[in-house]
Amino acid sequence: MKKYLFNILILVILLICQLTIAIIFPSLKLVPDFILIYIVIRAIIFGAKDAMIYGAIGGIFQDVFLTSFIGFFTPVKTAVAFLAALLSGRFFPENLLIPPLGVFMATVVHELLYLLLKENYLFTANYLVLLKEIILPLAALNALITFFVYLIYFLWGRWDLSGQA
């Protein structure tokens, strides 16, 4: 039970960070999706069931605080967590490029699924322009953040209590 509450608290903190960036820098076109990064890393490390639970919870949080209609982020984040979990156990933990590539692909899938669910974008959006100007740069930003987060996670896991690597 403590594990679930701790991870839900992490999701809340990540959502607050994401919202804070959007509020402090309103002219910023790209705001990293910290919840997506967290979910994909959990999917790669712990598997589908774990990531889908937190994907659904993180999606509900985003639906409540970012949209006027509940139901956009929840299925999208859950589906992306399931797809990202396909990478789980298929590579060595020392490989630092798989999680950023997974987040890059997950961001592209996440944004395209979100656009497909959003009715007012379904037939009016120019998907090539959105892909080139928003989705791919956002995916690159999320992947860059993931590289450093996974590097810290990997190095932190290698330290013992004496502080040596």
Q: How confident is the model at residue 130 (pLDDT cuts 50, 70, 90)?
A: confident
Q: What is the pLDDT of residue 158?
A: 59
Q: Do 106 and 84 contact (CB within 8 A), yes or no?
A: yes
Q: What is the mean pLDDT of residues 105-131?
A: 82
Q: How confident is the model at residue 39 (pLDDT cuts 50, 70, 90)?
A: very high
What percent of the chain clears pLDDT 90, i.e. is strictly above it? 45
Q: Do 19 and 61 contact (CB within 8 A), yes or no?
A: no
Q: What is the pLDDT of residue 29?
A: 87
pTM, full prediction:
0.87
Q: Quick one: how far is CA 12 from the chain centroid?
A: 13
Residue-wise pLDDT for 43-74, tens only, equals 988 888 888 999 999 999 998 888 766 678 89
Could you tell me the two tokens for 32? Answer: 């990293």
Domain borders along the chain are: 31-150
**CA–CA distance, 150 with 165 (Å, rounded to integer):** 16
Query: What is the rounded average pLDDT for all residues in the chain?
Result: 86
